[in-house]
Structure 1
Amino acid sequence: MKRLVILGGGESGVGTALLGKAKAYEVFVSDRGKIKPEYKKVLIHNEIEWEEEQHTESKILNADLVMKSPGIPDKVSLVQKLKKNGITIVSEIEFASKFTTATIVGITGSNGKTTTATLTHHLLKDELNVGLAGNIGDSFAQQLLVKNYENYVLEISSFQLDDVIDFKPKIAVITNITPDHLDRYDYQFEKYVKAKFRIAMNQTSDDYLIYDADDEVITNHLKTNPVQSILLPFSLKEEIENGAYFKDNKLIITIDNNQIIMPTTSLTLEGKHNIKNAMAASTVAHLLRIRKQTIRESLENFQGVEHRLEQVLKINKVQYINDSKATNVNATYFALESMDAPIVWIVGGVDKGNDYRELFPFVNEKVKAIICLGVDNEKLMDTFGNMVDIIIETQFMSEAVKIAYKVAESGDNVLLSPACASFDLFENYEDRGRQFKDAVRNL
């Protein structure tokens, strides 16, 4: 019996444990932190051995295979020991994909991957038997066990791609690549770019890679590191022969001379970046032969993703917008770009080596006040202090929203778009977004 050790008892860990047990592995789950009560119940109910708040090396270094949670960096000494012992380390995506013949759509990118994955699933679900998993919702491994869909849309982070070996999606999507998580890649952008491109490394000439042709990082990497797959670029700037482009408020998608044209005037999602997300998702739908009418209707009734430019409430003609999912500068760039009204901007958190320069034009033009919400706001104060009339620090969401309420005038937008990770004052970006929404509702 092969021994499968799982590091991390979260959603992907517990899903993998269940799938591993069903596939006759001897399974052991080890978490250095506390395992959430709901996950513990599942492990106990399924008689899977587990430990928390420690890693017992003698029970881990005897593994045949290790599935490591994407949150654990390679630098950790336990991971180094496993590698030295020649024990294979995989991500949940790699492990689970061995047990399915489903058609897989894998979506990665620095920004837009959740929206693109959710939208793609939304476009496919009326006509195909399809699951949504990966970095989102229920784990891929667990869905294979319980639902066993014929198709999967997977949102995949670079951390999950770091530990793939044979994983090969039929359709891969790279939304964009901008500096993010560089702390995990020795502050070398090229390493991060290579991690993203692992999504296509096993693809053959029967597979497809959909990507943003306007993103120079992607196009330059493809020039020097060609892939085997059929390329289907999308662009806002140029006409694309095989792929998708945007012209005269229409999306034009061509695959093997088969063209569909979609008007975008009634798209519910706002902003240029969302037109790109819609192009990527519609290209997948067109590839998988979803009817044009279905694609059009689904694009029109898509509600978007929680914590991503989510309109919360309008109070005294001021719109409050929750963009807590903007955990890097580029995501905040899109948010500021899409705003038409003057902005009271709530920003801050754990800075991952951010360069805020690309935001300067928008801040000068649109932002009237900045509220810094983090444990350490010094960099934000230094960077933006001279650009706006009002810049205020706080460490409480409730206070940040009260200050915004005082500063904002009729017709303004109050925008939470932190450009930073959330782990200083909040559990995660969802917690941060919910606290914002609660504070707004309590005004």
Structure 2
Amino acid sequence: MRLVVLGGGESGVGTAILGKKKGYDVFLSDFGKIKENYKEVLLINEIDWEDEKHTEELILNADVVMKSPGIPDKVAIVKKLKDKQIPVISEIEFAAQFTEAITIGITGSNGKTTTTMLTYHLLKSGGLNVGLAGNIGKSFAWQVADEDFDVYVLELSSFQLDGIINYKPHIAILTNISPDHLDRYEYKYENYIASKFRITMNQTEDDYFIYDADDETTTNWLKNNKTKAQLIPFSLKQKHQMGGFINNDTMEMYINEEEFTMETKTMALEGKHNMKNAMAATSVAQLMRIRKQTIRESLSNFQGVEHRLERVLKIQNVQYINDSKATNVNATFFALDSMSTPTVWIVGGVDKGNDYSELMSLVREKVKAIICLGVDNKKIIDAFGNVVDVMVEVTTMSDAVRTAQHLTEKGDTVLLSPACASFDLFENYEDRGRQFKQAVRNL
């Protein structure tokens, strides 16, 4: 069996290693440059590879192709593979067939990283032999090749879900859905929604689907479509027979006749959206029979996620917050919603078809100045030019942070929450967040 891997990053190299171990004839091809550390791994494992090109005769003879999530379907080589009816799958689909482990799949436009990290923290604290993979850390395929976990918590993007055929998580979480990555879905929101719901398409009556009952897009889909999985909703507004609910200042969870309660003020995470993330993760912990005392302790000592509403420093009584992971409008909505002081907002980057109108009331109420950090800021300026008194355009992070310092007074907050992808000025959102933190420390 010939396995061709497109993309020489974390998921590609992990898949190549697993494929080799399972006896496939493996070839890896990357149209860009493969990083030196990955080249070394490929050489040590005696895996054939090429970079900065796709040689068709070495690719189109595949029995199966694993495509890295960053490669769009419209790329020429992918179209040729599909024309030849060669299966093109994701790393998750490839690796899942080689493990007996229970998987917990977590997707959503926002909150999935926090929910994934928190779920992993709860299960690990509960003593389970658990791995963390997907969009985070070491790739799932690589871990299936090298490790022996009983349970995996997987953060899954829509791109990874596009490439599944038979994969099913035992427990699936959909945190929410808002327009994102529409450039990859022909600018059709319904295509993106369908992609997210692939997480539950293979689930059976023995599996569980955990979702936000306050999210209109999700509840509409569930009204019109069927999943066999047992439904576990969570909500800030309404109580369900089974699921989670915030009642005044108490989180109440009812799963399989078991009740769990905890005061929200004793939780480490703040903000309404984090209450939802906590209910989703706690649902998993209860389904996996983690002790209530362990769940309470874990929810109160969880550290949070880098680049997600991360408090960096307070300088001259001004709080600097790194929310670089906010790559869409919905994520920035949560960030602005949780601000309780006058805010200087650093925004901008590569716009993925954003509609800024839903931020309007929050910007009027909370934002005193906007700093546009991007190559093309026209849409942001058109949206908010008449709403805030001060708008400044900059092209480096250090300029953004220095400008923000000049615009603040005691008691204000400086919030980096870009609502856009980072690829115009930065390598990725992590690079953008780290540059922000460095610039703040240099003040």
Name the TM-score class by shorter chain: over 0.9
Aligned twin of 1:346: 346
Q: C-alpha separation between the residues in 2 aligned to 1:266 and 1:333? A: 25
Give the alignment of 1:7-406 within 5 angstroms: 7-126=6-125, 127-406=127-406
Deviations 1:215-236 (A, max 9, x none): 0100110111110000000000
Letter in 1 for 2:255: I
Distance 2:71 2:286 in 1: 37
Q: Which 10-residue stretch deviates more, 411-420 or 71-80? A: 71-80
Q: Unaligned 5+ residue runs, structure 2?
A: none
Shift of 1:257: 1.4
What per-residue deviation string (whole Å, max 9, x for no partner) do you get for residues 261-296 of structure 1?
111112121110000000000000000000000010
Deviation at 1:382, TM superposition (A): 1.2
- Tell me how far apart the structure 2 counterparts of residues 215 and 188 of structure 1 sit (CA, whole Å): 19
Mapped partners of 1:86, 1:27: distance in 2: 19
Cα shift at 1:146: 1.6
Distance in 2 (alpha carbons) for counterparts of 1:248 and 1:314: 31
Measure, in 2, the Cα distance between the counterparts of 1:102 and 1:219.
30
Matches of 2:256 and 2:274 in 1, distance apart? 25
Equivalent residue letter for 2:147? K
Q: Secondary structure at the match of 1:125?
A: helix
CA-to-partner distance for each residue in 1:156-205, whole Å, 9 max, x for gaps? 00000001000010000000000000111111111100100000000000
Please list the CA deviations of residues 370-399 of structure 1 after superposition, one character each: whole Å capped at 9, or x if unmatched. 000000111111111111111000001000
Distance 2:266 2:76 in 1: 53
What is the RMSD of the two structures over their aligned residues, measured on CA atoms?
0.6
Q: TM-score, normalised by structure 1?
A: 0.99
Give the counterpart letter for 2:60 in structure 1: L
Matched residues in 1 for 2:112 and 2:229: separation?
20
- Deviation of 1:255 (Å): 1.4
SS at match of 1:418: coil
Match for 1:349: what amino acid?
A: G
In 2: Cα distance, 1:369 partner to 1:375 partner: 19
**One-letter amino acid of the structure 2 residue matched with residue 10 of structure 1:** G
What secondary structure, in the 3-state scheme, does the structure 2 residue paired with 1:252 have?
Answer: strand
Residues 238-273 of structure 1, C-alpha deviation per residue, up to 9 Å, x if partnerless? 011111111021111111211111111121211100
Q: Secondary structure at the match of 1:137?
A: coil
Determine the C-alpha separation between the residues in 1 that align with 2:266 and 2:318: 24
Q: Secondary structure at the match of 1:153?
A: strand
After TM superposition, the structure 1 stretch with the greater mean CA deviation from structure 2, 329-338 or 373-382, is 373-382
Report the Cα distance in structure 2 between the residues aligned to 1:266 and 1:257, rounded to whole angstroms: 24
C-alpha distance in 1 between matches for 2:155 and 2:139: 11
Cα deviation per residue 1:60-90 (whole Å; 9 max; x = unaligned)? 0000010000011111111111011110111
Report the alpha carbon displacement of residue 13 of structure 1 after superposing the two structures with TM: 0.2
Q: Distance in 2 between matches of 1:391 and 1:269?
A: 32
**SS of 2:3 mapped into structure 1:** strand
Q: C-alpha separation between the residues in 1 aligned to 2:51 and 2:160?
A: 22
Deviation at 1:11, TM superposition (A): 0.2
In structure 2, distance between residues paired with 1:5 and 1:213:
41
Q: Distance in 2 between matches of 1:124 and 1:263?
A: 20
Is the partner of 2:388 in helix, strand or coil? coil
| Equivalent position amino acid for 1:318 in 2 | V
| Aligned residue identity for 2:176 | N
Cα separation, 1, equivalents of 2:406 and 2:143: 47
**1:41, distance to aligned residue in structure 2 (A):** 0.6
2: CA distance, partners of 1:383 / 1:304: 32
Distance 1:163 1:371 in 2: 38
Give a deviation string over 1:5-37, Cα, whole Å, max 9, x none: 000000000000000000000110000000011
State the alpha-carbon separation in 2 of the partners of residues 252 and 270 from structure 1: 17
Partners in 2 of 1:421 and 1:428 — Cα distance?
8
SS in 1 for 2:265: coil
- AA paired with 1:195? S
User: SS of the counterpart of 2:253?
Assistant: strand
Runs of 4+ in 1 over 3 A off after TM superposition: none
Q: Tell me the SS of whatever aligns to 1:194.
A: helix
Question: Percent identity, aligned pairs only?
Answer: 67
- Give the Cα separation in 1 of the matches to 2:302 and 2:258: 25
Give the aligned length.
442
Write the letter of the residue equivalent to 1:99. Answer: F
Counterpart residue type for residue 146 of structure 1 = D
